[in-house]
Amino acid sequence: MLPDNEIRFDASGQVWLDQLVQRHESNATRLLQILREIQEYFGHIPHQIVTELAQRLSIPRARIESVASFYSFLHLKPHGEYRVLFSDNITDRMLGSQPLMELMCQQLWLQPGKVSEDGLVSIGTTSCTGMCDQGPALLVNGRAITNLNHQRVQEIVQLIRNRAPLADWPADFFRVEDNIRRNGLVLGSALAPGEILRRALPLGGLGVVESIKTSGLRGRGGAGFSTGLKWEACRNAPGLEHYVVCNADEGEPGTFKDRVLLNHEADLVFEGMTLCAFAVGANKGFLYLRGEYRYLLEPLQLVLQRRRNKNLLGKDILGQSGFDFDIEIHLGAGAYICGEESALIESLEGKRGVPRNRPPFPVTHGYLQQPTAVDNVETFCQAALALHMGAEQYRTIGTAKSAGSKLISVSGDCQRPGIYEYPFGVSVREILKDCGAVNTLAVQVSGPSGICVAESEFDRRLGFEDLPTAGAFMILDDSRDLFEVARNFVHFFAHESCGFCTPCRVGTSILKQTMDKIAAGHGTRYDLSEIENLDRVLQTTSHCGLGRTACNPVLHTLKHFRPSYENKLKSLMFSPAFDLDGSLARARQMTGRDDAGAHLKEIE
């Protein structure tokens, strides 16, 4: 990789860019996809290319900068030939990711977040990469490496020092296991591609919608909206085109079920999308795949091609005249907020992933302002199976208000982390028993934005009646400090806030500061009441769910584990946030001193 000012944008570069833009039909709604390819080619998005691209797409160059700077995996400045990002979820930390990152930094003479002076490598952290069952994990130039340990880190350091191309690294590093521990409705389905489609087409679009409504299916992304009602609203909405979008931007820390579904049940996912297209009258579908799952792109494209060859996609699908539908995969680039459906649509349109003002909702004004059905990966699988087994039959599985099964991503302190499929209504205790968890202190259900369940509540059941979940199930045993868990989640929200609205943009950062202040031993009761005030502002005034739930981890752990906060508090009512000694850190660094004389004695 060349430093930015040395990128030679010669004739061959011009041709490469021309071909790229042409392949995307000079369409600015493809901007994010174009930028991703430029990033893959150059290692970053060179300044000169931004100007050239702006001309070719006839858009202001500031818009390109604006979009590129929104996504964590895109860089407008050189970021190293090898860009290493350690997954920073609490489960990675519990498996020892922090000392491993320190080791790598040490061995490569590097500070986290900085690029080495020779431009060879940068090391940093990223939000959960969805490998919680086989962590600690990292991404190198966008490729996931799992099961990190001391030895593996040493080997990676050697490969980087030797400038070995990624293609020559041991394949074992990149192996991602499915870790399916308990089969169910979805994971045990084993249906031939097209089988459900064949059975469902005679029902007609309306019949499919009615069946899904009868089945009681609710969205598996967490919110639990009725899938049938969504499809019906989309079908009935007037528009030039209708669209189907599969939300595979699985970003909630601790969740990895979609990764497994896309690897293990890709046909079922696409089958569900095709049924949805049939039901709502769509000709075009998108699968929005999170950037962290980049390695799944080619395998998924193969599945799509196979389905086209079998006329399960394309024109007049399975001989049904006029039923034309195809699916395109779009990649994300490191932005949790794009899991929010309207932000995802903005991102699909090549923009910053900022949640829209609602109403109108995507079912009437979605992609390109046209009616769009956005559903979670697992929802499409469940919908296909509901049609396969019949709505009435499907309804009998699970509980009264939560029909069907749920895939649970189990990670953390247990013997058998992985994917467990249960009918809704399973208790927390039952899952803990099945995965071999002992001395469990708490379970974080449905990720940082979900609920922290303490032992007294282990008989609570997963389902929309009691404990709604998108699937994350992070187990914390009695060796863990729940304050640190909450602090990790608070950092996550501050990093992932899109910055659109005041409360979330500023509030999550202030919350982070307050938690760091407590961690540093400067916290007081005043800070705890400040957290409660912040929570009120965030919960009531935030633009979307990210801000509204950002305080949850703190509130839940405060409720159940208040001592782990209070242990860290000074007894004072107030202590200034300004850290006199900390403010001299830079001076110490510049003078190379860290002796006692270079520190101010703390004033008690």
Partner 1 sequence: MNDTFQLDGSTVPFEPGQTVMQAALAAGRYIPHLCYHPEFKPHGSCKLCTVKANGRTVASCTMPAETGLDVESEIEELNALRRSLVQMLFAEGNHFCPSCEKSGNCVLQALGYDLEVHATGFRHLYPDRPLDASHPDILLDFNRCILCELCVRASSEVDGKNVFALSGRGITKHLIVNAESGKLSDTNIALTDKAMQVCPVGVILPKRVGFSVPIGERRYDQRPISAQALDDAPRQTDSSGNCAACEGTP
Distance CA 395, CA 574 (A): 56
* Stretch 151-190: interaction string toward partner 1, x if CB under 8 A: ----------------------------------------
C-alpha closest to that of 363 among 276, 493, 263: 276
Q: Which of the 8 DSSP states describes residue 381?
A: H
For residues 290 and 406, which CB has a smaller minimum distance to partner 1 in the complex? Answer: 290
Of the candidate spans 446-454, 481-489, 501-509, 561-569, the one that interacts with partner 1 by CB under 8 A turns out to be 501-509
For residue 249, the SS3 value is coil
Q: What are the Cα distances from residue 236, in Å, to 66, 205, 224, 239?
A: 36, 11, 21, 9
- Verify binding: residue 325, partner 1, rule CB under 8 A: no
CB of 516 to partner 1, least distance (A): 11
Q: Which alpha helices (DSSP H) does 435-551 contain, by range? A: 482-496, 502-519, 525-541, 545-549
CB of 577 to partner 1, least distance (A): 4
Q: Which of the 8 DSSP states describes residue 356?
A: P
For residues 179 and 541, which CB has a smaller minimum distance to partner 1 in the complex? Answer: 541
Query: Looking at 505, 525, 570, 588, which residue binds partner 1 (CB under 8 A)?
Result: 505
- Verify binding: residue 495, partner 1, rule CB under 8 A: yes
Name the E strands within 192-282. Answer: 243-248
- Non-local (6+) Cβ contacts of 151 within 8 A are none
Both structure tokens of 92 = 């990675």
C-alpha closest to that of 254 among 438, 485, 2, 19: 485
Of the candidate spans 56-64, 193-201, 258-266, 282-290, the one that interacts with partner 1 by CB under 8 A turns out to be 56-64
Binders of partner 1 in range 339-398 (CB under 8 A): 352, 357, 359
CB of 446 to partner 1, least distance (A): 22
Distance CA 555, CA 564 (A): 13
* Stretch 3-42: interaction string toward partner 1, x if CB under 8 A: ----------------------------------------
Query: Looking at 120, 203, 368, 577, which residue binds partner 1 (CB under 8 A)?
Result: 577
- Verify binding: residue 525, partner 1, rule CB under 8 A: no
- Verify binding: residue 583, partner 1, rule CB under 8 A: no
For residues 183 and 509, which CB has a smaller minimum distance to partner 1 in the complex? Answer: 509
- Verify binding: residue 90, partner 1, rule CB under 8 A: no
- Verify binding: residue 494, partner 1, rule CB under 8 A: yes
For residues 482 and 501, which CB has a smaller minimum distance to partner 1 in the complex? Answer: 501
Cross-sheet strand order for the sheet of 138-140: 121-126, 82-87, 138-140, 143-145
For residues 392 and 532, which CB has a smaller minimum distance to partner 1 in the complex? Answer: 532
Of the candidate spans 162-170, 361-369, 390-398, 492-500, the one that interacts with partner 1 by CB under 8 A turns out to be 492-500
Both structure tokens of 548 = 């509204």
Distance CA 131, CA 554 (A): 24
Binders of partner 1 in range 532-561 (CB under 8 A): 533-534, 536-537, 540-543
Size of the residue set binding partner 1 (CB under 8 A): 43
C-alpha closest to that of 602 among 573, 571, 575: 575
Distance CA 346, CA 355 (A): 8
Paired with 407 in beta bridges are 421
Q: Phi first, then psi: give them for residue 412, nearest 5 degrees.
A: 95, -145
CB of 534 to partner 1, least distance (A): 8
CB 235 within 8 A of CB 227: no
Of the candidate spans 178-186, 281-289, 409-417, 488-496, the one that interacts with partner 1 by CB under 8 A turns out to be 488-496
- Verify binding: residue 285, partner 1, rule CB under 8 A: no
Query: Looking at 4, 37, 65, 210, which residue binds partner 1 (CB under 8 A)?
Result: 65
Query: Looking at 22, 27, 301, 502, which residue binds partner 1 (CB under 8 A)?
Result: 502
- Verify binding: residue 70, partner 1, rule CB under 8 A: yes
Distance CA 252, CA 411 (A): 13
The owner of tokens 């990790």 is 488
Q: Which alpha helices (DSSP H) does 26-138 contain, by range? A: 31-42, 47-57, 61-68, 90-94, 97-107
- Verify binding: residue 60, partner 1, rule CB under 8 A: yes
CB of 360 to partner 1, least distance (A): 9
DSSP H/E element including 121: strand 121-126
- Verify binding: residue 56, partner 1, rule CB under 8 A: no
Distance CA 327, CA 171 (A): 29
For residues 107 and 509, which CB has a smaller minimum distance to partner 1 in the complex? Answer: 509
What does the binding site for partner 1 look like in residue numbers (CB under 8 A)? Answer: 47, 51, 60-63, 65-66, 69-72, 335, 352, 357, 359, 494-503, 505-510, 513, 533-534, 536-537, 540-543, 577-578
